[in-house]
Amino acid sequence: SSSSSSFSDDDDDDDDDDGYGLPVESKVSLCGHNRAVTALALDGPGVRLLSGGFDHIVRFWDFSGMDRTFQSFRQVEPYEGNAVLDLSYSPSGKYFVAATGNPQAKIFSRDGPVECEFVRGDMYLSDLRKTKGHVAALHGAKWDTTDENRVFSYGRDGTLRLWDVSDVPRQTRVFVARGRTSERNAITAASMFNSNQSFLFACIDGSLQSFDIRQHSVQPSKRIERAHTRGSHTSCLAFSRDDETFVTRGGDETMKVWDVRNLSDPVHVFEDLPNRYQTTDCLFSPDERVILTGTQGSVTAFDRYTFEPVGETAVCDGHAIRIVWNTRINQIFVGASDGNVYGLYSSSKSKHGVLLSLARKFNRVNKDVFEAPTLVITPHALPMFRDETPNQQRKRARKAPEGSKVPTNADIGTKGYGGRAGETLNAAWLKKRVPRNPPGQEDPRETIIRHAEAAAADPRFTSVYEKTQPKAIYDSTSAEQVAQEEEERKAKESKGLYDAKAFLGKRMM
């Protein structure tokens, strides 16, 4: 399906003077969604981009095949009626996992067909570690960056589940978020660290909890209470490459920088950063000198060490939600609340990606030229070359004597029809020479009535019954006489009732 797109270039003169190498010199717009874009994923080479949003659709963008109109070449709907909340490519880029508002995540191949679907858990089991899958809506699903067969997902049921997808998806570990009360503590964001041997996830109660995969403890190894405001939706967790520093983007309009070695207090708190969506991103730049996050209408960058604002790039009129920065092509892609995906790049520092599409000119359609549709007939389009459908195969099998075990007809002459046997020679001779009316074409009652007068005049077969047969005597009373007799009967009955009352009255006296 086609999607409307627009192209725009916005040049900024301060790109080369910022000293941080931010590729925000120009901007392109990839239009197609009609609601907010809440999920983005870019493969390793930076050739294919995935986008999903509140319109329940995942769109495929291929920079090696697009021209400057930026049309998505494919779209899929993971679950009907469920918003797409997270997308993640496998390390090889052959597959991607999609998390929606449904408890079951799905794995798709690179070109769109569904490969498998995760198992749904039993919602009536109180112990969430005993269920085979999630029992409530998902908030995210991500692929392990080092293992092609490992995926983790987390959601509203307060569990983080580790899946083995080498064959059929099956969960290998379940981590339950602990809260102060018995209520389920929903997990809103999660990330792997410590060489992908530990998990850190943010909960709806504002806490941060850490679990080690190598340990089989039901209690978190580390816990940070009140990391963000209780009840706010912490939308993102991002670790540096050395796994010593991480950033959390809170729903309380703050972004906090933490040191893993000292979790008692955050290193720094960035305030007054609007966060209207539950999937707003924050991330480190490829050289890890800058921290980026989405705000109202722009992408804001801060220095990692001095915590000073580096710059603010206006992107859209709405809210900048998802941010992806690919190191190979050095381009930033932003999913916005207006339904567009914006690509930020630098003509001197970026390569490939959107630049490949911008180098291709699209052919405008000349409306004055009319081309008649050509009729192409291929041999395999003819009925004799087509493969039989299952219904056609069943019909042919029923007609085959060896398959249906229908007894063969006896050799009694010509071929029958309608399940009837054929005629013999004598039957055919009689049929031609003996006239008879086929049954069902004449009413038998009319035939009898037609001979009634002749039978009464010459009772050949019933004359023996004339002396013994009773004669019919019909009532000749008219309707007026019947009505008069009925009135007289009623009058007599009423008079007799009056005489009986009078007689009883005299006896009483």
Look at residue 471 in the predicted model and tell me its pLDDT: 73
Mean pLDDT per 10-residue interval, the chain, length 509 residues: 38 51 89 92 92 94 87 91 93 93 93 90 88 92 91 93 88 88 86 89 91 86 89 91 91 92 90 90 91 92 91 89 91 93 90 86 63 67 72 81 64 53 71 64 75 80 75 73 84 69 57
Q: Is 128 left (phi over 0), alpha (psi -120 to 50) or beta?
A: alpha
Look at residue 3 in the predicted model and tell me its pLDDT: 39
Q: Is 418 left (phi over 0), alpha (psi -120 to 50) or beta?
A: left
Say whether pTM exceeds 0.85: no
SS (H, E, C) 243-254: CCEEEEECCCCC
Helix or strand or coil: residue 179?
A: coil
- Could you tell me which residues are beta bridge partners of residue 28? 343
Six-digit token pair at 436?
């008879």
Degrees, nearest 5: CA angle 268-272-276: 115
Whether 293 contacts 249, CB under 8 Å? yes
Helix or strand or coil: residue 429?
A: helix
Taking every pair of C-alpha atoms in the chain, what is the biggest distance, in angstroms?
A: 137
- Could you tell me which residues are beta bridge partners of residue 193? 198
Edge-first strand order for the sheet with 255-259 is: 236-239, 245-249, 255-259, 268-270
Strands (E), 43-148: 48-53, 58-62, 74-76, 84-89, 95-100, 106-109, 114-117, 138-143
Instruction: Determine how many CB atoms are found less than 10 A away from the CB of residue 68.
Output: 14
Look at residue 90 in the predicted model and tell me its pLDDT: 93
Look at residue 466 in the predicted model and tell me its pLDDT: 73
Look at residue 469 in the predicted model and tell me its pLDDT: 73
Look at residue 473 in the predicted model and tell me its pLDDT: 74
Whether 230 contacts 208, CB under 8 Å? no
